[in-house]
Amino acid sequence: MSVHAPERERITGPPRHDEPTRGIFEKPSGPAMRALAASKALIAGLAVLGAVLGCAYGLSRTPTYTASATLQVGQVNPNSPGFYGYVQSASALATTFSRAVYAEPVLADVRRDTGLSAVRAASNLSAEPIPVSPAFRVFATASSSRGAIALANSAAHGVISYEGQSNGAGPEASSLMGEYKEASLALQGASARAAQLEKDRRAGSFARAKARAERSAAAVRLKAIAGSYVAAVASQAPRSGLVSLLAGASTAASDRKSRTEMLALLGLLAGALVGAALALALGTRAKPPGS
Beta bridge partners of 66: 141, 253
Task: Encode the chain (291 residues) as per-residue pLDDT tens digits.
Answer: 455 555 555 555 555 555 555 555 555 567 778 777 778 888 888 888 888 898 888 787 788 899 999 998 865 544 444 444 445 556 777 888 888 899 999 999 999 999 999 999 999 999 998 887 788 999 999 989 999 999 999 999 999 888 877 665 555 666 777 787 888 888 888 888 888 877 777 777 788 788 888 888 888 888 888 777 666 655 555 555 578 888 888 898 887 788 888 988 998 899 889 888 888 887 776 555 554
Mark whether 180 and 246 lie in a shared domain. Answer: no
Residue 54 sits in which domain range? 31-61+259-282
Domain count, the chain: 3
CATH code of 125's domain: 3.30.70.1130
Mark whether 102 and 147 lie in a shared domain. Answer: yes
CB atoms under 10 Å from CB of 140, counted, come to 30
- CA-based angle 273:275:277, to the nearest 5? 70
Q: What's the CA gap between 69 and 97, in Å, rounded?
A: 14
Mark whether 164 and 176 lie in a shared domain. Answer: no
Mark whether 69 and 158 lie in a shared domain. Answer: yes
Mark whether 135 and 175 lie in a shared domain. Answer: no
Tell me the whole-structure pTM to 2 decimals: 0.54
Mark whether 116 and 153 lie in a shared domain. Answer: yes
Mark whether 165 and 151 lie in a shared domain. Answer: yes
Mark whether 57 and 145 lie in a shared domain. Answer: no
Q: What's the CA gap between 85 and 134, in Å, rounded?
A: 11
